[in-house]
């Protein structure tokens, strides 16, 4: 007799076309688990989006009227009610909350009313956890119930696993990181000339390229990176450096004004949002990747840069130390220290450090990082671990 497909109901505050690491992870994982039926309840947040659609391997139900703040709050109340209605029809084997956020609160309400349905909580948070806890201080007990009500917790880093313990989780906790699609990051997918692409972007032939792929928000430290580029251009005239900033966000105007005040606007190019499918071209022309984060849950873009063969500079915060070992798979700079960032960039760009035999030679670190990503962070392997959680640890 053929086994009946297990049914999973996902609670997520946002989903495509709103794209972050969590949304990408859900899509990549569910697309690779073909023997389960996935549905999702999420906030609408855009009037143009349909109330229901099939997205990949997920039936997506959106609640709200298309206003982000209202819809996130409405998700907490309407989401649990819609889940109850869908559960009567579909008899879900488990619910899956993506982050301890608005969707997590809705999942907690549903779990309290349906204790027999298993509850998986995934922690993907990238913001400062102290700030997260401060924001929910008035509903602290309900927020903690997300953690204490879970039957199993999957965290994308040890940093977030430790947070779950601090928040009172008593269920099993397992670290399963996000992954990358290495084939998608290959430059071989393009009919492509590096020189022509540089020319198109206004990059001179001898300029060294530092790239960051970041939402332009305070936590990603882009201001410190711009100051580091200023430091390099002032103290190293013989080392022409240009910074490519790929991303959009609330600090864009502030950062552009900073580059003008530092008189390096010709050395900083704001590229706007670059789709993942186009990023390999930008990685191919880059000499260094740097995102000097103030906080980070894991940081998929670091892994993407590593997979693309770009040397990586990061700060030792959050989940980054899970994959970046200083002098082995990348380099650490100090938090909020532009001089430290500039020093690391200069070291990587110094020709004598490219193929030396010391432990931190640039080429050796690039190769180590690429191999680590291939072994531990490809989506196929991540999806198998998640499948094992659903089938062998959560639903028995």
- The residue range of the domain holding 227 is 183-376
Judge whether residue 357 has pLDDT over 70: no
Residues 349-378 have a mean pLDDT of 85
Q: Which residues pair with 16 in a beta bridge?
A: none
Judge whether residue 103 has pLDDT over 60: yes
Judge whether residue 73 has pLDDT over 90: yes
Residues 105-119 have a mean pLDDT of 96
In a domain, 23, yes or no: yes
Judge whether residue 239 has pLDDT over 80: no
Give the confidence band of 237 by pLDDT, cuts at 50, 70, 90.
Answer: low
Same-domain check for residues 254 and 366? yes
* pLDDT for position 329: 97
> What backbone torsions phi and psi does residue 344 show, to the nearest 5 degrees?
-65, -40
* pLDDT for position 235: 75
> How many residues does the structure list for the chain?
396
Report yes or no: 98 and 120 within 8 Å, Cβ to Cβ: no
Judge whether residue 1 has pLDDT over 50: no
Same-domain check for residues 203 and 328? yes
Both structure tokens of 251: 């600090």
Report yes or no: 9 and 92 within 8 Å, Cβ to Cβ: yes
Same-domain check for residues 172 and 228? no
In a domain, 255, yes or no: yes
Residues 270-279 have a mean pLDDT of 92
* pLDDT for position 189: 76
In a domain, 86, yes or no: yes
Residues 6 or more apart whose Cβ sits within 8 Å of residue 281: 187, 190, 192, 197
In the chain, the percentage of residues whose pLDDT exceeds 70 is 97
**Total domains, the chain:** 2
Q: Give the separation between CA 289 and CA 305, rounded to whole angstroms.
A: 7
In a domain, 338, yes or no: yes
Same-domain check for residues 293 and 256? yes
Judge whether residue 9 has pLDDT over 60: yes
* pLDDT for position 19: 79
Q: Give the separation between CA 118 and CA 193, rounded to whole angstroms.
A: 52
Same-domain check for residues 142 and 208? no
Judge whether residue 392 has pLDDT over 50: yes
Q: If DSSP states are collapsed to H, E and C, what string results for the chain?
A: CCCCCEEEEEEECCCCCCCCHHHHHHHHHHHHCCCEEEEEEEECCCCCCCCEEEECCEEEEEECCCCHHHHHHHHHHHHHHHHHHHHHHHCCCEEEEECCCHHHHHHHHHHHHCCCCEEEEEECCCCCHHHHHHHCHHHHHHHHHHHHCCCEEEECCHHHHHHHHHCCCCCCEEECCCCECCHHHCHHHCCCCHHHHHHHCCCCCCCEEEEEECCCCHHHCHHHHHHHHHHHHHHCCCCCEEEEEEECCCCHHHHHHHHHHCCCHHHEEEEECCCHHHHHHHHHCCCEEEECCCCCCCCHHHHHHHHCCCCEEECCCCCHHHCCCECCCEEECCCCCHHHHHHHHHHHHCHHHCCCCCCCCHHHHHHHHHHHHHHHCEHHHHHHHHHHHHHHHHCC
Same-domain check for residues 342 and 386? no
Q: Give the separation between CA 13 and CA 42, rounded to whole angstroms.
A: 5
* pLDDT for position 238: 64
Same-domain check for residues 351 and 279? yes
Q: How many CB atoms within 10 Å of residue 44?
A: 23
In a domain, 14, yes or no: yes
Give the confidence band of 279 by pLDDT, cuts at 50, 70, 90.
Answer: very high
Same-domain check for residues 59 and 198? no
CATH number of 211's domain: 3.40.50.2000
Rounded to the nearest integer, the mean pLDDT of the chain is 93
74-105 as b/e: b if 16+ CB within 10 A: bbbebbbebbeebbeeeebbbbbbbbbbbbbb
In the chain, the percentage of residues whose pLDDT exceeds 90 is 84
Residues 155-160 have a mean pLDDT of 97
Q: Is 275 exposed, middle or buried (0-12, 13-18, 19+ CB in 10 A)?
A: exposed
Q: Which residues pair with 10 in a beta bridge?
A: 40, 96
Same-domain check for residues 225 and 93? no
The candidate with the shortest Cα–Cα distance to 172, out of 147, 189, 193, is 147
Same-domain check for residues 192 and 163? no
Same-domain check for residues 146 and 242? no
| Beta-strand relationship, 52-55 and 152-155 | unpaired
Ramachandran sector of residue 327 (left: φ over 0; alpha: ψ -120 to 50; beta: rest): left
**Who has greater pLDDT, 206 or 342?**
342
Report yes or no: 256 and 264 within 8 Å, Cβ to Cβ: no
Give the confidence band of 20 by pLDDT, cuts at 50, 70, 90.
Answer: confident
In a domain, 1, yes or no: no
Q: Supply the pTM of this predicted model.
A: 0.92
Same-domain check for residues 147 and 273? no
Longest dimension (CA), the chain: 74
């Amino acid at each position: 007799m053929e086994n009946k497909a297990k049914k999973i109901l996902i609670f997520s505050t946002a989903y495509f076309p709103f794209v972050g690491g969590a949304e990408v992870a859900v899509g990549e994982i569910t697309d690779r688990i073909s023997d389960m039926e996935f549905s999702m309840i999420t906030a609408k947040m855009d009037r143009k989006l349909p109330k229901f659609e099939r997205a990949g391997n997920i039936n997506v139900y959106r609640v709200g009227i298309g206003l982000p703040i209202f819809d996130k709050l409405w998700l907490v109340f309407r989401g649990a009610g819609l889940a109850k209605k869908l559960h009567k029809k579909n008899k879900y084997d488990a619910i899956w909350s993506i982050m301890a956020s608005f969707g997590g609160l809705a999942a907690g309400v549903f779990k309290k009313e349906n204790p027999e349905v298993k509850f998986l909580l995934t922690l993907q948070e990238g913001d400062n956890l102290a700030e997260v806890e401060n924001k929910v201080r008035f509903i602290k007990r309900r927020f903690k119930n997300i953690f204490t009500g879970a039957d199993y917790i999957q965290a994308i880093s040890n940093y977030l696993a430790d947070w779950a313990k601090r928040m009172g989780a008593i269920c099993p906790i397992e670290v399963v990181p996000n992954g990358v699609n290495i084939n998608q990051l290959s430059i071989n997918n393009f009919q492509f000339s590096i020189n022509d692409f540089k020319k198109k972007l206004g990059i001179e032939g001898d300029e060294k390229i530092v790239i960051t792929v970041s939402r332009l928000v305070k936590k990603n430290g882009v201001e410190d990176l711009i100051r580091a580029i200023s430091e390099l251009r002032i103290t190293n005239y013989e080392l022409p450096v240009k910074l490519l900033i790929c991303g959009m966000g609330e600090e864009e105007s502030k950062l552009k004004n900073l580059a003008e005040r530092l008189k390096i606007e010709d050395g900083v190019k704001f590229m706007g949002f670059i789709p993942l499918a186009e990023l390999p071209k930008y990685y191919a022309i880059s000499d260094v990747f740097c995102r000097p984060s103030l906080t980070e849950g894991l940081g998929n873009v670091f892994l993407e840069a590593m997979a693309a063969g770009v040397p990586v500079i990061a700060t030792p915060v959050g989940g980054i130390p899970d994959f970046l070992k200083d002098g082995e798979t990348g380099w650490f700079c100090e938090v909020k220290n532009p001089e430290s960032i500039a020093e690391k960039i200069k070291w990587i760009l110094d020709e004598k450090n490219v193929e030396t035999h010391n432990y931190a030679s640039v080429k050796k670190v690039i190769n180590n990082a690429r191999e680590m990503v291939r072994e531990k962070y490809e989506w196929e392997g991540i999806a198998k671990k998640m499948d094992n959680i659903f089938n062998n640890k959560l639903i028995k």
